[in-house]
Amino acid sequence: MDRHVEAFLEMLAAERGAARNTLAAYTLDLEDFAAFAAARGQAVAGADAAALQGYMAGLQGQGLSARTAARRLSALRQFHRFLLREGVRTDDPTSLLDTPRLPVVLPKYLTEAEVDALLEAAGRRAGRPGLVARAALEILYATGLRVSELLSLPRGALSSDAALLLVKGKGGRERMVPLSDAAKREAAALTADGPAGRWLFPGRDPKVPMTRQGFFALLKQVALEAGLDPMRVSPHVLRHSFASHMLARGADLRSLQMLLGHADIATTQIYTHVLAERLQRLVEAHHPLAKAGG
């Protein structure tokens, strides 16, 4: 691996707390570009603007999606900004590149009735799996946590006297999230039943947290018992449901950005379709001409 790429990845891990999957994706992206640059007789850290433009054009020719191309461009931009900051380069050739236009994809979310059905199905489950399902679903829907944030919660995170939950999210950014009484109650029941240890959701080995795969499997089972298509239910869908239902009931985008831990409010704006629907209902319910037309 090129030493500049290695230094960049070390910076992402040490300074930004990048997740293992993120580091793996950046490694593959940069190694792919390094091979392209080498074929043109250039080093990955010294490639010129023409090489970068040729690489991005080649991605489209390979039939890669706009989303994949945008991810690779993001990796290249961050890498070159790092080189500029470290004095390895005096320019940033990625500033001349256009970002691939991404299709607008609305977030998938459940209705409030479907979330209620999930919670009721979890409530009917017996034993330890039922406790885990109830606690996890109550916490996810009440807070909008990412699944990685949920499974890394320490055992005492939802103590009965806590009004707020301190969450460490992407890039090591911390945020405060209000706690519901139901979430605290289910967490208390879970810890009272489970083995002593560090994690609120321990795995089969209590020394490590529950795996994402294990939690996904449990969630799919609850979805089936709730009469829902398990393909429509995931931790991220519950996060989208939390956000969509909050906006539908009057929350503002800036508050939602803080609750979700988005670094940029532009990320939160994917939920504006909910605002549009709510505004349409308000106009239909309260505008004099709308009433007259009805």
Catalytic amino acids? 146, 170, 236, 239, 262, 271
- Residue 177: beta bridge partners? 165
At which residue do the structure tokens 């490694």 appear? 27
Lookup: tokens for 207: 């020394």
Is the four-CA dihedral 224, 228, 232, 236 of positive or negative sign? negative
Nearest residue to 150 (alpha-carbon basis) of 163, 135, 162: 135
Nearest residue to 214 (alpha-carbon basis) of 118, 150, 156: 150
Coil/strand/helix, residue 175: strand
Coil/strand/helix, residue 253: helix
127 phi-psi bin (left φ>0, alpha ψ -120 to 50, beta other): left
End-to-end CA distance of the chain: 68
Residue 117 CA: distances (Å) to CA of 136, 147, 184:
15, 20, 20
